[in-house]
Amino acid sequence: MDIKKKIINVILKNNTFLVTSHMNPDGDAVGSMGGMFYLLKTLGKDVHLYNTSEIPDRFSYLDIKDYVVHKLLKNEYDCIIFLDCGDKFRAGKEIDRLHVKVSINIDHHPTNDSFADINWVDPTMSSVGEMIFYLVKEARVPLSYNISECLYTAIVSDTGSFTFSNTRPSTLKVVMEILENGFDLDDFNRKYQRYWTLNKVHLHGLAMQNAKLYFDGKLALTKISRELFEKTNTTSEEAEGIINYLRQIKGVKVAAILREDEDKVKVSMRSWGEVDVSKIAMELNGGGHKNAAGGSLDLPLDEAEETFIKCVAGFIC
């Protein structure tokens, strides 16, 4: 049986659902959660959305923030659906105490370990949002404006506004159908792009001033300390996008940001086609895609930088 048909059959046979995604959710995580939420609600299901982290303010226009809980409301559901989670624990340890009849894992990370009862893992997909689109079609559910806005958010986020190599002809066909269904792209871009604060501008400027090149300009790297966040009165969420500037430097093959986050240093990487940063990420307790991946280091910021540079050397030189 086709995996999409199998997932829809499971959905139709069950009533209570917990939909979750990875902590510190990005646009694909938030958008795919929203798309699945509206799909299940349209089918008359009882749905709870769960994430261990707050939904970033920049996605507040999706109107799902009020439906997301950060503590489990009950211990039993018919079905749990993991979205955009490379492994089960990306959704948080609290998930372990749940009792469910069936678990579903929908993801496009090549490092996914197929941890659920039903696994749809397809690294050729641009985003989990694109995968949810195909489920909407399989279920013959109308492409409502709420579903369209969530799925478009997921796709545009994970393709870097259609500039990343994961943008395939089929991805653009999905977007074409969303637009043909009456999606207001001008209104969306006003909400999606116009969320910056002056503090965020200052953060980006100072972070760019700290940028350095290594390995004859093949690696571009900047560090963001807690002190810099405090100085600019910003949060780690507002560091989003800095890495794309580094990636545009002539000759750079890998761009990276190291930022202090609680008791760890979070590492984000982007690359062009030459370097598979998901392999680097796996050395850093992380994972991801060929051209977009991340991990973490349990070290002070300066030591983390030294360790990271040594790690990258084996892949970039």
Q: Does domain 198-316 have CATH number 3.40.190.10?
A: no
Give dist(CA 242, CA 192) in Å, integer: 16
Give dist(CA 275, CA 98) in Å, integer: 39
CATH class of 3-193: alpha beta
Quote the pLDDT of residue 261: 86
Going across the sheet that includes 264-271, the strands are 212-214, 219-224, 254-261, 264-271, 292-297, 287-288
The pLDDT confidence band at residue 271, using thresholds 50, 70 and 90, is very high
Quote the pLDDT of residue 237: 87
Phi–psi pair at 294, nearest 5 degrees: -160, 165
Of 317 and 126, which is predicted with more confidence?
Answer: 126
Question: What percentage of the chain carries pLDDT values higher than 70?
Answer: 100
Going from N- to C-terminal start, the domains of the chain cover 3-193, 198-316
What's the pLDDT tens digit per position in 113-136? 899 999 999 999 999 999 999 999
Summarize the confidence of residues 164-176 as an average pLDDT.
94
